[in-house]
Structures are given as C-alpha cells and as structure tokens.
Amino acid sequence: MKAKRILAAVAACAMIFGALPALADDQGPPHPPGETAQVYSDPLAPFNEKMFWFNLKLDHYVLHPVAEGYAAVAPIPVREAVGRFFDNVNFIPRFANNLFQLRLADAGGEVARFGINSTVGVAGLFDPADHWFGLKESRNDMGLTLGHYGIGQGPYLVLPVLGPGTIRDDVGYAADSAMWPLPYFVPWYVWFPTDGGKFVIEAVNYRSLHLDLFEQVDRYAIDLYGAVQDGYLQRRASQLRRVNE
Amino acid sequence: MKPRAKSTILLNHRLLSGLLATLLAFAATSQVKAMYADGGPMETTQLFVNQALKIMADKQTPVADRQRQLRQVIEPRFDFTEMARQALGPHWRALKPNQRQDFAEVFKGFMESAYLSKIGEYSGQKVEFIKQSSLGDGYAQVASNILQPSKPSIPVNYLLEQKDGSWKVYDVTVDNISIIQNYQNQFNRVINEDGFDKLLADLKAKQRQLASSSAG
C-alpha cells in the first residue's frame, strides 16, 4: 500500500517535472573556448541560500566536531570498513536502478557483490568481490533513472540536512529510501530510531573520512554557494552521461 | 683505367647524392619528430606535468625558489586570458577593454597563487597519462589519472587549444568537474549580486590569502 502510494507520487512528480525544461542538463564534456556554457537559473535561490548556510552551520557546530572526535578514537581502516558495511547494506537501490535502466550486467554484478561481501566479506565490512573477483560497485540511483528516461532535473534545491539536490534527484532519493526494507517488516518504534541512527552514523562516518572537505572547497572558492552548486550539477551531469552511454 | 675512374666518380656521385638524400630525409624526419615532441597535446601536457612534479618533489630547494621554477614551467602552457574570458561567460562582452585586461590580470594572479599554494601538499603522487582525443579542429583533450597510494585515483583532464603553433591549456577538469565552468558560476553570482568591482576585490583578497598561506 505504502509502496503504491510512493510510486504514484513519483509518477505524478515525473509528469510535473518532465514538462519543466532541463536546466543545464546536457553540458557535455567541456566545450571548446568561445562557446560559453549556459548560466544556471536558480529560481529557488533565496530559500536555497538560507538552507545552504544552515547546513554549513550544522556541519561546523555539530557534524564536523563529532566526526573529528570519532576519527580520534577510530582508526582509518575501521572507519573504511564501516563505510563499506553501509555501502553493502544500501545495495537494493543500486541493484534496482541498474535493472530499471536495463544495465543487466551491472545489476547482476550488484547481486553478486552483495552475496559475496555479505558472507565472505563479513557482513560487508570487507570487499572481496572487488579484490578477488574484480567486481566493482556500479553506483546508481533513481535520480539517474528518471534522467535516463528523459525527465528534466527541475530547479536546484538545497534541503536542510540532506544538502544540495535538484527536484528530480530529491524525488529519486525519496523513492530510493522507500526501497529500504526495514519499515515494511517491523513496527515504527523499532525502525524509526534504527533508521535515524543509521542515517547519523553514516553521515558521521563519511565526514570523518573527508574531514577537510569544505575547507578544500572554501580555500579556492570566491562564492562557496556557487562552487558547491556547480560542483553538484556538473557531477550529476557526468554521472548521467555515464549511464546514458 | 679511364672508364673505371669515370665509374668511380659516378659511383661517388651516386653515393654522395644518396647520402645527401638520406641526410635530408633524416633531417626532415627528425624535424617532424621534434615538432611532434614539442607539438602534440599529449606530449606537451606530459612534459610540463612531469617538470612540475619534479619541482614539487624537490623538497631541498626553498619554497620561494620552487614557486618561481613552477611558474616558469606552467605559465607558457596555459592560456590565462582565454580562461578569464570563459570564466566570465556572458559578462565578458559587457566589459570595456581596460576592464577585460584588469580582470585577465587579476584572474591570472589568482590562478597562479592557487596552484602555487599546492606545492606544500605534494606527497609523491604519480600521474599516469591515458590518452589524447580531438575536440574538433585545433582543440584536444588529454586524459590523466593522479595515482594515490591506497585511495582511488583522481581523473584529471586537460583541455587544450592550438595557438601560435603550440598547445595551450584553457581548462582542467577534476573528476569530470570543469574548473573554469565552476568559477563561471561563482563569478556570475557575484557580478549579479554585487557587481564587477566586488568580484575584482574578492579575487584580489583571495589571491593574497592563498599567497600568504603558501609562503611559510
């Protein structure tokens, strides 16, 4: 029932945003000089900027200090193993979206990776699928699937906590999150705190492995918001080019 | 004896002209080779990147000297004016000639301080060159990877244009993110919100900050 409702919501969003022009969607591989790339339109900028600075403060006062403390007690190999564990657990959307895009070899590879790494790889803490069998992870998500089938990305949108995205990518994120099985099997007072904890630990662990992430960007940025916005949009455009190949 | 002498002369003549032809051919090919070694986009990029790596690895020489060496290696290989023009995007056309010149100069100083400040961070990473591909007449892309021990490698692509007989870099992409396009978005926002003069001031301030962070 819940899944059906979500699918209906996704379909509705797809119809609405499919009609929107794609913003800078096909900024192919860099143009020869003289052809200047188009400038992004950012209709939600006033909201986005507020959320961007909120997220930056949240990171500065909460996430970064916590990640730093965590990094001080947990050595890098441990944190990398934790990262691999979550990566392994989150395999369903990767598998599903490879399947949706008919990337059957990648979808099959994801199943094999999950099987190998969950068992031989000790619940995903290690990655023997890559090291022994050369099976690399095939990153994919619903935002890319929607883009693959020609749905425009809609306006750029910065959400509190979740960070930069586009309407399409955020809808995709909601759909991918709905593939997480726990809420379908246990009552809410079990899955809600569990998933909350998972979200927080994942975020802290990731930040602990990239402690100077913002500092590196900020050091060379004239306008931090613009740098992050363009970095996000260029990265997604290049991922979409990859799945469209 | 006479015919023989003649044939000897003839032989000598033939030998000589043969030798001359070979020499000429050799000279021509070596000239082509020299042109190639200096001219291909891949060779050009490889050459200056390897020179730059060597300078960055040389921790004995004082930083200031190495920065001067690095600048000498990089400067002739980058078309900073073209970079500045693209980084301004549509705003470039609205500028007066002297404003363009000001901006190009400030932007060049900023970019130089940015890469020179990287000198202290170098810790033996190696660079592998993968391929060159054409981006149309007179434009090329050179793909490379920065290899880091026990970490995923970083794909870095150089975009080059042929200008006055040599290849010059006009953009660099890191992880498929174009640096110039990224600055274009930032500059566009600053100009739209606070105007061109604010952008110039911000660039100058950032340049000083980068320069002072790498001097010590």
Global pTM reads: 0.82
What is the predicted pLDDT for the residue at A22? 39
Helix (H) or strand (E) holding B153: strand B151-163
What's the CA gap between A45 and A28, in Å, rounded?
A: 24
pLDDT for residue B120:
81
What is the pLDDT at residue B123?
85
- Which whole number is the average pLDDT over A183-195? 95
At residue B157 the predicted structure's pLDDT band, cuts being 50, 70 and 90, is: very high
Q: Do residues B141 and A190 make contact, with C-beta atoms less than 8 angstroms apart?
A: no
Instruction: Kindly state whether B111 is in contact with chain A, defined as any CB-CB distance less than 8 angstroms.
Output: no
Cα A81 to chain centroid distance, Å, stands at 19
Which of the pair, A200 or B118, is modelled with greater confidence? A200
Q: Which residues of A touch B176 (CB under 8 A)?
A: 234-235, 238
Residue A174 confidence class, pLDDT cut points 50, 70, 90: very high
- pLDDT above 70: residue B164: yes
Would you give the distance in Å from CA A116 to the centre of its chain?
24
d(CA A220, CA A128): 38
| Contact of A79 with A209, CB cutoff 8 Å | yes
Determine the 3-state secondary structure of B208 from DSSP.
helix
Residues of B in contact with A227 (CB under 8 A): 182, 185-186
Tokens of A7: 């699918």
Please measure the distance between the N-terminal and C-terminal CA atoms of chain A and give it in whole angstroms: 35
Identify the band that residue B53 occupies on the pLDDT scale cut at 50, 70 and 90.
very high
Residue among B138, B186, B213 minimizing CB distance to A223 = B186
Across the interface, whether the CB atoms of B189 and A225 are under 8 A apart is answered yes
The pairing of strands B177-178 and B166-174 is antiparallel
Tens of pLDDT, residue by residue over A107-155, are 999 999 999 999 999 999 999 999 999 999 999 999 999 999 999 999 9
User: Tell me, what's the ipTM?
Assistant: 0.82
Confidence of residue B13 (pLDDT cuts 50, 70, 90): low
Cα angle at B33 between B29 and B36, to 5 degrees? 140
Q: How far is CA A199 from the centre of its chain?
A: 13
User: Where do the H-state alpha helices sit in A25-166?
Assistant: 45-58, 64-73, 76-89, 91-100, 104-119, 128-131, 142-148
Q: For residue range A10-32, what is the model confidence (pLDDT) as tens digits? A: 444 444 444 443 344 334 445 55
> B85 in contact with A at a CB cutoff of 8 Å?
yes
Residue pair A32/B135 in contact by the 8 Å Cβ criterion: yes
Q: What is the pLDDT of residue B213?
A: 82
Q: A39 CA to chain B: closest CA distance, Å?
A: 7
* pLDDT of amino acid B55: 92
Round to whole Å and give the CA distance between B179 and B142.
Answer: 15
Q: Which of the 8 DSSP states describes residue A104? A: H
| pLDDT attached to residue A25 | 37
Q: How far is A8 from chain B (nearest CA, A)?
A: 35
With CA atoms as reference, the chain A residue closest to B207 would be A220
Tell me: pLDDT of A240 over 70.
yes
Q: Most A CBs within 10 Å: which of B153, B186, B209, as the mutation test of the A interface? A: B186
Chain segment B56-115, per-residue pLDDT in tens: 999 899 989 999 999 999 999 999 999 999 999 889 999 999 999 999 999 999 999 999
Residue B163's Cβ-side half-sphere holds a number of Cα atoms within 13 Å equal to: 15
**For testing contact with chain B, the best of A26, A27, A31, A137 (most B CBs within 10 A):** A31
pLDDT in tens, A56-98: 999 999 999 999 999 999 999 999 999 999 999 999 999 999 9
